């Protein structure tokens, strides 16, 4: 019994000491373990007692140090957008990007509110694809790319890049939506029913399809999360990454919080963790569908997002809805 207690004691002290050592910012001062109980170990960490938030902030857990390979720093200079739409996409999805530009992501659809569409990409390991995207960017000027490897596992970096971009180059925007390239967005509902341009802009606002869940420990799952990375059994509430909307002030808050939050590859879970740290509670909105839904005019008129829409279908749905605006359901 006593040996158990002292073991625990040593472990606690060692952990505590190494945590302090890590946070203290002076890696050169080595902590020497003197394997003897009677030596007051606590004394050796006394010089590092000067712990402030500044110390912690100077050593980010998750420094986002990627430079922009493609940027549109002036996109927001002459306009203050009501809504910036960030679309997570991959290099080969040329058709999907074009379909979005020509349908719901068309920046010229609305005359009373200004919307901006921005596609988010990382760097591909295939240089040819990077060059093709570079050319696409010179035509449309709606692509932002940072220098991290574009992969499913790096989706969180893509979202954080978008948050950082809004905070840096578009801080006066009112709202931001983050969505994927296979999502249909009912912009009329999003803008006029949900965000309501004529009302006072909200702050610290976040909404989408809220999920209250916990980590999946089955390694075969797409959403597998190891106990090492996330030991707790529940996630804070998070919005499905297929589409969520927030007031633009939240972009900077999430980006800054992420610098001190251990990175997780599940981007929507990770954003939820940052929101939890910030004390921002996401609102549930059943208009955000994160599953596929067969097209019907009246059904699609009621939603904000629908998942799994290939490019051809995007055009078909958009054309049908646009040409039947006069019809009642
Ligand atoms: C603690 O840190 C602050 C800010 O870095 C410094 O000004 C102060 O002198 C330090 N105090 C001690 C006791 O080291
Ligand atoms: C994510 O991006 C970083 C930075 O480019 C890279 O080192 C890492 O290998 C990428 N991870 C995956 C799983 O692709």
Q: Name which residue leads in pLDDT, 87 or 7.
A: 87
Q: Which residue minimizes the CA distance to atom 13 of ligand 2?
A: 153
* Distance between CA atoms of residues 269 and 239, nearest Å: 8
What predicted TM-score, i.e. pTM, was given to this entire model?
A: 0.80
Q: Where are the domains of the chain?
A: 68-324
151 lines ligand 2 (CB under 6 A): yes
Sign of the alpha-carbon torsion through 312, 194, 269, 260: positive
CATH number, domain 68-324, options 3.40.225.10, 3.90.550.50, 3.30.565.10, 3.30.70.1150: 3.90.550.50
Tokens of 153: 């596992």
Tokens of 9: 């004691």
> What does the pLDDT read at residue 116?
98
Contacts of 325 (CB under 8 A, 6+ apart): none
51 in Cβ contact with 59 (< 8 Å): no
> What does the pLDDT read at residue 291?
84
Ligand 1: centre distance to CA 26 (Å): 13
The mean pLDDT value of the chain amounts to 87
Ligand 2: centre distance to CA 5 (Å): 42
pLDDT tens across 273-329, in order?
999 999 999 999 999 998 889 999 999 999 999 999 999 999 999 999 999 999 998
* Distance between CA atoms of residues 183 and 177, nearest Å: 12
pLDDT tens across 100-148, in order?
999 999 999 999 999 999 999 999 999 999 999 999 999 999 999 999 9
Q: pLDDT band at 192, cuts 50/70/90?
A: very high
> What does the pLDDT read at residue 24?
36
> What does the pLDDT read at residue 35?
39
């Amino acid at each position: 019994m006593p040996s158990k207690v002292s073991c625990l004691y040593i472990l606690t002290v060692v952990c505590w000491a190494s945590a302090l050592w890590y946070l203290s910012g002076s890696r050169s001062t080595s902590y020497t373990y003197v394997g003897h109980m009677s030596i007051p170990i606590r004394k050796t960490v006394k010089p590092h007692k000067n712990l402030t938030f500044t110390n912690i902030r100077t050593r980010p857990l998750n420094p986002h140090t990627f430079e922009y390979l493609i940027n549109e720093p002036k996109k927001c200079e002459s306009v203050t957008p009501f809504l910036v739409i960030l679309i997570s996409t991959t290099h080969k999805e040329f058709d999907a990007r074009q379909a979005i530009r020509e349908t719901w992501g068309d920046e010229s659809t609305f005359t009373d509110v200004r919307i901006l569409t921005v596609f988010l990409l990382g760097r591909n390991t295939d240089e040819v694809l990077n060059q093709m995207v570079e050319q696409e960017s010179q035509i449309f000027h709606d692509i932002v790319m940072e220098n991290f490897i574009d992969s499913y596992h790096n989706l969180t970096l893509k979202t954080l890049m978008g948050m950082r971009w809004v905070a840096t180059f578009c801080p006066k925007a009112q709202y931001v939506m983050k969505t994927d390239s296979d999502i249909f967005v009912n912009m009329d509902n999003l803008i006029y029913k949900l965000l309501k341009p004529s009302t006072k802009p909200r702050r610290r606002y976040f909404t989408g399809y809220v999920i209250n869940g916990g980590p999946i420990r089955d390694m075969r799952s797409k959403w597998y999360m190891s106990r090492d990375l996330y030991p707790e059994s529940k996630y804070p509430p998070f919005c499905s990454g297929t589409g969520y909307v927030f007031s633009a002030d939240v972009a900077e808050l999430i980006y800054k919080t992420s610098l001190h939050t251990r990175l997780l590859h599940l981007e929507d879970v990770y954003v939820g963790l940052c929101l939890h740290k910030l004390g921002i509670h996401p609102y549930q909105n059943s208009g955000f569908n994160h599953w596929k839904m067969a097209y019907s005019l009246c059904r699609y008129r009621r939603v904000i997002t629908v998942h799994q829409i290939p490019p051809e279908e995007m055009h078909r749905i958009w054309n049908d809805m646009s040409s039947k605006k006069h019809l009642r359901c």
